[in-house]
Amino acid sequence: MQRITIAIDGFSSCGKSTLAKALAAKLGYSYVDTGAMYRAVTLYCMEHGIIKDGAFEELEVNKALDHIQLDFRYNSQTHASDMYLNGRNVEKEIRQMDVSNMVSPISKVHEVRKRMVALQRLMGKDKGVVMDGRDIGTNVFTDAELKIFMTADNDIRTQRRVDELKAKGIKVSVDDVRKNLMERDYEDSHRKENPLTQAPDAIVLDNSDLTREEQMDFVLKLVMELKLPEQSV
């Protein structure tokens, strides 16, 4: 079957990355976690004093972009790709709550989105990619052959995020996580540039009561149902 682009969008902590990673592995595709890219930019700005007391100047963020190099590298222990910022593995640092609290405001900056989208399109130019984020199907790859929009109950999302962070050794409270998710949902959905929204041709996947296996079966069925021509050789 012809290799395709699969775009998975949705709210925070809906399991987008978990599904996207597993799906990419199943299909032998590349996986791109676009959220990690925005988190890495946020981390850089925090570490270099561009973000101060929860505020920043867009001009300073724009200048910093010329000094930021991002790439994903395969981790043989976790069997997943880690985010590298200027040659440093920052996979754990970008998941911290202080980064989570600032990633939505940073992702609203026009030049940040412009640079990240350009990188994402480059990563997926040859197809055979599963990419998850907030605007993949509506902006990055509007012609993706398969678009999924994921959602889940707020309480379930909160607990999933708490469990994920604790598994990485990051201590958080349920209330802090719930507040962060609500704020990010609002920021992502109301930003002026490429807000989080469901693409008209996206298929909704509410995984509140679905196991990982059931989610995988759901998406694989959609992939198999696509009427695509065989690749020429």
Residue spans of the domains in the chain: they are 5-224
Length of the chain: 233
- Is the distance from CB of 85 to CB of 44 less than 8 angstroms? yes
52 CB-near residues (< 8 Å, 6+ apart): none
What does the pLDDT read at residue 193?
84
Low-confidence ranges of the chain (pLDDT < 70): 1, 227-233
What does the pLDDT read at residue 67?
97
- Is the distance from CB of 70 to CB of 84 less than 8 angstroms? yes
What does the pLDDT read at residue 231?
44
What does the pLDDT read at residue 232?
38
Q: Within the chain, how many helices (H) and strands (E) appear?
A: 8, 8
C-alpha distances (whole Å) from 163 to each of 101, 119, 141, 150, 177 are 18, 31, 31, 19, 11
Cα 55 from chain centroid?
A: 23
Structure letter (DSSP) for residue 6? E
Identify the CATH number of the domain defined by range 5-224: 3.40.50.300
Taking the whole predicted model, whether its pTM rises above 0.95 is answered as: no
73-86 pLDDT per residue, tens? 888 887 778 999 99
